[in-house]
Copies of this chain bind each other. A is one copy, B any other.
Amino acid sequence: MKLTDSMAYSNPQEMMFGFAQKPVTTRRGLVIGGGSVIAEIVPHPRPGSEKTLHTLLREFERANGDALERCVDIGTPNLVLENEHVFQMTDDAHWGREIAALSIRQLDEFAEQYGLKAAYRATIADLRKPDMVNIRDSERTSKVLEAFDACAEYADILSIESIGGKEIFDHCIIRNDITGMLFAQGVLGSRDMAWLWPQIVEIADKHGSIAGGDTDCSQANTAMFMAGGFTGKALSHSLAALSRAMAVGNSLVAYECGASGPGKDCAYENPIIKAITGLPMSMEGKSCACAHSSLCGNVMAAVCDLWSNEAVEYHRMFGGSTSAVFSEILSYDVASMNTAIQLGYQREYQACMVASDRYRSLQGFILSPDNAWAIGKAVVDNNQSYYARTLAAALTCGELMLADPQLYFTSYEKESLAGYMTELEKLPQEEEDFIDLCLHKYAQVKGFLPQAYGL
């Protein structure tokens, strides 16, 4: 398959929240990326509720209902409701289907009764843990695909957080081994998506559902999460930033296989993906603090089309259930963005979001639209191979960080980054050579099965 060789946007200034070059319309007529930002609420079931299908249905009925009700109560025009599968919903496709059917019924009731326009995204759980099963050929693999088929009947949008390369990544991330991370994200992850996504797209098309997109959550977010905040000592922030850039080589594959967006919220690489593809993207930032902390809470809104909370466990708060509370917070977040668009102040508003975080952290810096675009450009200019474009993304990311005098580093970060860059620069030209090098270097890693990636 030919890899993407051009940018959808000829320059970063063209990118704006609420606007995608190729908007997507769901079967319920909700337009995403067509000129306004829409909230994406993600409730998560309470422990224990997964015991039986009955209790889990009841849990989602409550959580979904609270979100929809709150939207009506405060006047939110549109909503995307995402259910991230818990193990049981994918493990038994029947569960996934029943919950998707229920959610759709609820959406339609509210549309009918109030005129609320909404869509439902089903995110299947990727149970194929590489060090436990052959990700291309195992019972879990077929279960994942069955779950897609079951949910596609009802869901407006389909997604997954695929985990190809994870076994190598986990081994390397805690060893500061960027070569291995590049192999995991750029080569293994990409090859897995190239195998998985055509099947998802086919299922989606068959049922008239939308193949949304994927994320490198399993790798880049692990890095971001472990790097943590300013007191974190688990990982260098520069490694997390480079891992983010490398995530593009990976997530981009889903769209090259026919995914049409909206991309998955937790893919912090989405500003880069949007710059390349022009497809609508879901993003998350400050209002997903309920799910995890980040150093880029505002800048992530700069070019988003959907604005999400990632995940919040269903619980009571003084102001209602968490599902209602976060629907309200997201609703007002997007209301101010949409107002900016309506008033013609979107540039100024975007500038505030970006400048809030641009120099707060490395992650925020490289995800600022201009830098995101530049990394994307490096990706499409180096489309000889998955490896080549991922390496280019990492190198460009590093160069951008080193080039801006307003971006400060602790001495540890400075050393680390220098180290990663020299290591990357020493890597072979050709993908085959790199693969040989890695197959040898990581042969001993527990559970690594080259055949599972067609190697």
Contact = CB atoms under 8 A, between A and B. Distances in A.
A289 B319 contact: yes
Contacts of A322: 317
Interface stretch (A57-65, A193-201, A229-237): A229-237
| Residue in A288, A295, A320, A325 whose Cβ sees the most chain B Cβ within 10 Å | A325
Interface in A17-50: 44
Interface stretch (A69-77, A213-221, A433-441): A69-77
Interface stretch (A128-136, A242-250, A337-345): A337-345
Contacts of A285: 332
A292 interface: yes
A336 B352 contact: yes
Interface stretch (A165-173, A174-182, A308-316): A308-316
A348 B360 CA distance: 23
Contact of A345 (B75, B290, B337, B348): B348
| Residue in A315, A328, A338, A353 whose Cβ sees the most chain B Cβ within 10 Å | A328
Given A286-B333, A336-B352, A352-B340, A72 B315 contact: no
A287 B336 CA distance: 13
Contact of A230 (B72, B232, B288, B348): B72
Contact of A298 (B228, B332, B348): B332
| Residue in A298, A342, A352 whose Cβ sees the most chain B Cβ within 10 Å | A352
Contacts of A348: 340, 343, 345, 348-349
A413 to B, nearest CB: 15
Contacts of A222: none
Nearest to A73: B229
A278 B294 CA distance: 36
| Residue in A44, A332, A343, A345 whose Cβ sees the most chain B Cβ within 10 Å | A332
Given A72-B229, A230-B75, A288 B319 contact: yes
Contacts of A336: 298, 352-353, 356
Contacts of A44: 318
Interface string A322-365: 10111011011101111110110100110111011100110000
B293 A74 contact: yes
A297 interface: yes
A146 to B, nearest CB: 28
A443 interface: no
**Size range of the chain A interface in the assembly:** 35 or more
Given A286-B328, A340-B352, A345-B351, A335 B75 contact: no
| Residue in A44, A232, A319 whose Cβ sees the most chain B Cβ within 10 Å | A319
A326 B229 CA distance: 16
Contact of A293 (B73, B231, B286, B312): B73
Nearest to A295: B74
Contacts of A407: none
A427 interface: no
Contacts of A315: 315
A319 B297 CA distance: 13
Interface in A272-291: 285-291
Contacts of A345: 345, 348-349, 351-352
A288 B324 CA distance: 12
Nearest to A311: B318
26 contacts: A72-B229, A72-B231, A73-B232, A73-B293, A74-B295, A74-B360, A75-B230, A288-B319, A289-B328, A290-B318, A291-B318, A293-B324, A293-B328, A297-B329, A297-B332, A298-B335, A298-B339, A335-B356, A339-B356, A342-B355, A345-B349, A345-B351, A345-B352, A348-B349, A349-B349, A349-B352
